[in-house]
Amino acid sequence: MKYDYLVVGAGPFGSIFAYEATKRGKRVLVIDKREHVGGNLYCKPIAGINVHWYGAHIFHTSNKSVWDYVNQFATFNHFTNAPLANYKGTLLNLPFNMNTFNRLWGVNTPEQAKQIIAEQRKNYGVSNPKNLEEQAINLVGLDIYEKLIKGYTEKQWGRPCTELPAFIIKRLPVRYTFDNNYFTDIYQGIPVGGYNVLFDKWLKDIDVTLNADYFENRTMYEGMAEKIIFTGMIDQYYDYEFGELEYRSLRFEHELLESDNYQGNAVINYTDRETEFTRIIEHKHFEFGQAPKTVITREYPQDYTKDVEPYYPINDALNNEIYEKYRQKAEKEAHVIFGGRLGQYRYFDMHHIIENVLKLVDTEFDNQ
Ligand code: FAD
């Protein structure tokens, strides 16, 4: 066989595996059905701006070894995610914090804000929440629920909050400081030059075939390598024999504008129900860009069908049960390893993916 490993999918899971295997002298072929590498981190250069083509990607982690690992391949800037919510024309800070409460209610101290939230929870809450709406009001009161949670959540899931189960929201962190930093991780940033810089390094001396769907030439690919690292959909790999796993999908509408600054922030969520999209991303702000034009992306949640991208696994009881059957079958495979968000049917942030693939590298090569 020509290769030791066939890696299906040139996202971060597949590309890091390919890099680490090649470093250890293995022969690797990477294939991807898209016309580019990078998976969902891919940045398309438009008018001098790195456009996050599959949605905003902000790298954050508290794991020092993951941070040190990625910093070998790129310089990360000091971008801090501080999104805003636009509720019917009023801009409010996220995650909800003292800046938000000051704007909503004119309060200046944590004690005043706590008092308002406590009163609203008492007035509108119920003792035994039966759905997401009741659960959210119980946690943060009516104002925050109506202005910042309700519309956004209904658009994301395509269903009214009264029809969504309460367990989706276990807790809603309320921050009683004037801190707009969305993440609490120690490390955060965007690679200078965009995420493609990482993939250029990871895949530099590796055979990569693009526009190549594994399922269109399965027998040929299987005959090319001793082992497969598979980061596509696990249910498709097994021809859906235990049933189809469900996902939520997204549609991105990208627009190049003549303006040099459209919204003054990288991420603005639209939290009303009437606006169809959930957020607008202005990509140049991820890298403090000075380009004369700007590119914005409107993000529309949509149902998943086989013609669109599967973005978010729906890990409810039924889907998890189906996945478990695939997982047990996959565990017995001697020549195939499933990894990444589609292979393991889980939402993973980028730092989780890096942790997971580096663990696999350790076991696969026994710390070579
Ligand atoms: P992917 O990046 O999806 O790569 C899988 C690759 O496999 C794709 O290129 C695909 O084309 C290819 N493939 C699939 N099937 C086949 C096949 N049959 N044949 C050939 N190729 C195939 N994480 C963060 O840490 N911070 C963020 O801010 C963040 N924002 C996100 C925003 C959105 C909208 C989404 C959807 C995710 C976000 N994530 C974020 C998560 C991040 O995208 C994932 O952690 C990461 O993409 C997972 O890497 P992966 O290699 O598993 O999968």
Which pLDDT band, with edges at 50, 70 and 90, does 315 fall under?
Answer: confident
Token duo for residue 332:
């017995």
Which residues does 315 contact at the CB level (< 8 Å), separation at least 6? 323, 345, 346, 347
Tokens of 105: 């209610």
Question: Ligand 1 mean position to 26 CA, how many Å?
Answer: 24
pLDDT in tens, 45-82: 999 999 999 999 999 999 999 999 999 999 999 999 99
pLDDT band at 1 (very low <50, low <70, confident <90, very high): confident
| Tokens linked to 237 | 């790999």
Q: Is the pLDDT of residue 170 over 90?
A: no
pLDDT of residue 172: 84
Single-letter amino acid code for the residue at 324: E
- Mean pLDDT for 180-203 is 97
Centre of ligand 1 from the C-alpha of residue 89, in Å: 33
Given ligand 1 and candidates 7, 184, 231, 309, which is best to mutate, with the most ligand atoms within 8 Å of its CB? 231
> What is the 4 CA–ligand 1 centroid distance (Å)?
24
Q: Give the CATH number of domain 3-37+203-246+310-365.
A: 3.40.50.720
In angstroms, what is the span from residue 341 Cα to ligand 1's centroid? 7
DSSP string, 40-79: GG-EEEETTEEEETTS---EEES-HHHHHHHHTT--B---
Measured CA to CA, the distance from residue 4 to residue 28 in angstroms comes to 6
Beta strands per DSSP E along the chain: 3-8, 28-31, 43-46, 49-52, 59-61, 84-87, 90-93, 187-189, 207-209, 225-230, 247-257, 267-270, 279-282, 294-303, 312-313, 336-338
pLDDT at residue 180 greater than cutoff 80: yes
Residue ranges lining ligand 1, Cβ < 6 Å: 8-14, 31-34, 39-41, 55-59, 213-215, 231-232, 250, 311, 340-341, 348-351, 353
Shortest-distance atom of ligand 1 to CA 339: 52
- Give the position of tokens 């995420």: 195
Residue 96 CA, ligand 1 centroid: distance in Å: 28
What is the model's pLDDT at position 197? 98
Q: How confident is the model at residue 368 (pLDDT cuts 50, 70, 90)?
A: low
Which of the residues are catalytic?
Answer: 171, 175, 248, 279, 299, 347, 349
pLDDT, tens only, 252-302:
999 999 999 999 999 999 999 999 999 999 999 999 999 999 999 999 999
Query: Atom 13, ligand 1: which residue's CA is nearest?
Result: 9
Between 292 and 172, the higher pLDDT residue: 292
Mutate which of 31, 57, 218 for ligand 1 pocket (most atoms within 8 A of beta carbon): 57
The whole-chain average pLDDT of the chain stands at 96
Strand order of the β-sheet with 90-93 is 90-93, 84-87, 267-270, 279-282, 294-303, 247-257, 312-313
Q: 320 pLDDT exceeds 70?
A: yes
Across the range 197-220, mean pLDDT stands at 97
Please give the pLDDT value at position 367. 62
Q: What percent of the chain has pLDDT over 90?
A: 94
Domain boundaries, the chain: 3-37+203-246+310-365, 108-169
